């Protein structure tokens, strides 16, 4: 166990390390482990705790708290995020400091009741422009939802110029030296974390940056990995660059067709749909055989495409794995404003097309056209229908209004 660390005047790091964890949230690899960061602010009139830690590490967290104050000095607890890696010690903390009022975002209320395992917690909801004053310290709250849960928020300690950013600007990277200017090179972990946690919420990242950018930020006290005190603006700029949308090539919107094919029937459909999209001068159409596309390429193509059309035959009543791989990659991109469509040739019942269509709809893609299904070998007329499907899809991507099937 390490001691609490003073990170600024009256501000302490009371987080813990999880050095041996190698997979986080099922999908993330954590070669360097991670940390669950939490903070404590001391004032003349009492103490503020900012976030807690994963439950299994709570005794270390409490030892750090006890090294700095008694529980009856704790006036407030600020919970920027209620995921269990940060709220795990909250139920016990509220038992030990029952007088402490908890500050959360409005969206966090139902979650707090469930996580806190109590109806007796004293809490107040806060948002941008609300502030907490205690002694000589002023904590301004910032509404930063969806980063990466609906209830997430940030705060800014005015006198110390510290941004408490929640999961934003985190890294799954444990290093006992704690600060970004002392630890090893964690750039890979910072980008990997962004890609897996923040990338699907780029619009919300840009909204948060609009709140952060006017602030004088001397330090970013995040919830995972190194605390950032060396050139914080570098990390704001990286988030801005990665989150700024570029869904146009040469001033044109992109529509991408992904397909797999057994007997070239679905491929023929794909080609006719491609021609239909290309008939619209203000679009660029891409076409990809999924069996030869790496996952990292799938993600970047999905991201740059405003329209995404997926084609597959039905094999054993199902969608083949390369298509499921593409569909699962979609959890890592922002779907807002994107259009989806599906097609495929089939031999018997043809379930694949409906499965893909239903996946796109459940991910909240706008699906303007019914899926295009053709039994076995497409005729010339059917290929013309595919061409029309592509043309019509392109028109909608380009702004033509029509009733969505969603």
Q: How far is the CB of 21 from ligand FEO (least distance, A)?
A: 12
Q: How far is the CB of 84 from ligand FEO (least distance, A)?
A: 8
SS3 298: helix
Cβ-closest position to ligand FEO: 83
C-alpha dist (Å) from residue 61 to 18, 58, 66: 12, 5, 9
Whether the bond between 329 and the residue before it is cis, its omega within 30 degrees of 0, is: no
Q: How far is the CB of 203 from ligand FEO (least distance, A)?
A: 18
How does strand 39-43 pair with strand 46-50?
antiparallel
Q: How far apart are CA 237 and CA 220, in angstroms?
A: 13
Q: How far is the CB of 87 from ligand FEO (least distance, A)?
A: 9
- Tokens describing residue 404: 């969505």
Cβ-based nearer residue to ligand FEO, 85 or 385? 85
Cβ-based nearer residue to ligand FEO, 42 or 148? 148
Q: How far apart are CA 53 and CA 89, in angstroms?
A: 6
Cβ-based nearer residue to ligand FEO, 222 or 266? 222
SS3 115: helix
- Residue ranges of the alpha helices (H) in 330-379? 351-362
User: Within the chain, what is the greatest distance between any pair of CA atoms?
Assistant: 82
Cβ-based nearer residue to ligand FEO, 81 or 137? 81
Q: How far is the CB of 332 from ligand FEO (least distance, A)?
A: 15
Q: To which H or E segment does residue 297 belong?
A: helix 295-304
Cβ-based nearer residue to ligand FEO, 146 or 203? 146
Cβ-based nearer residue to ligand FEO, 37 or 256? 37
Q: How far is the CB of 82 from ligand FEO (least distance, A)?
A: 9
SS3 110: helix
Which residues of this protein are in contact with ligand FEO, per CB under 6 A?
Answer: 81, 83, 85-86, 148, 167, 223-224
Q: How far apart are CA 231 and CA 318, in angstroms?
A: 51
Q: How far is the CB of 109 from ligand FEO (least distance, A)?
A: 18
Cβ-based nearer residue to ligand FEO, 81 or 338? 81
């Amino acid at each position: 166990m390490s001691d609490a660390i003073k990170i600024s005047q009256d501000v302490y790091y009371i987080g813990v390390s999880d050095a041996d964890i190698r997979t986080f949230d099922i999908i993330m690899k954590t070669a360097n482990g991670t940390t669950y960061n939490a903070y404590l602010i001391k004032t003349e009139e009492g103490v503020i705790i900012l976030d807690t830690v994963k439950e299994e590490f709570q005794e270390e967290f409490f030892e750090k708290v006890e090294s700095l104050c008694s529980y009856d000095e704790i006036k407030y607890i600020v919970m920027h995020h209620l995921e269990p890696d940060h709220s795990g010690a909250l139920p016990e903390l509220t038992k030990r400091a029952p007088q402490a009022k908890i500050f959360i975002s409005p969206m966090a209320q139902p979650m707090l009741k469930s996580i806190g395992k109590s109806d007796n917690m004293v809490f107040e909801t806060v948002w941008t422009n609300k502030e907490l004053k205690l002694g000589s310290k002023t904590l301004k709250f910032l509404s930063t939802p969806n980063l990466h849960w609906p209830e997430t928020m940030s705060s800014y300690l005015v006198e110390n110029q510290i941004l408490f950013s929640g999961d934003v600007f985190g890294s799954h990277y444990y290093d006992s030296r704690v600060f970004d200017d002392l630890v090893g090179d964690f750039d890979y972990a910072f980008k990997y974390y962004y890609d897996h946690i923040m990338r699907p919420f780029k619009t919300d990242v840009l909204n948060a940056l609009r709140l952060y950018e006017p602030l004088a930020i001397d330090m970013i006290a995040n919830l995972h990995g190194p605390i950032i005190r060396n050139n914080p603006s570098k990390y704001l700029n990286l988030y801005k660059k990665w989150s700024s949308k570029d869904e146009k090539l040469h001033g044109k919107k992109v529509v991408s067709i992904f397909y797999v094919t057994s007997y070239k029937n679905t491929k023929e459909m794909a080609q006719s749909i491609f021609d239909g999209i290309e008939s619209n001068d203000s679009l660029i159409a891409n076409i990809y055989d999924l069996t030869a596309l790496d996952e990292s390429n799938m993600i970047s193509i999905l991201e740059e495409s405003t329209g995404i059309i997926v084609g597959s035959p039905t094999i054993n009543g199902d969608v083949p794995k390369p298509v499921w791989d593409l569909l699962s990659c979609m959890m890592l991109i922002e779907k807002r404003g994107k259009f989806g469509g599906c097609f495929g040739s089939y031999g018997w019942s043809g379930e694949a097309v409906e499965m893909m269509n239903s996946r796109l709809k459940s991910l909240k893609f706008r699906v303007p056209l019914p899926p295009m299904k053709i039994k076995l070998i497409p005729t010339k007329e059917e290929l013309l229908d595919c061409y029309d499907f592509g043309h019509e899809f392109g028109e909608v991507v380009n702004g033509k209004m029509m009733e969505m099937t969603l």
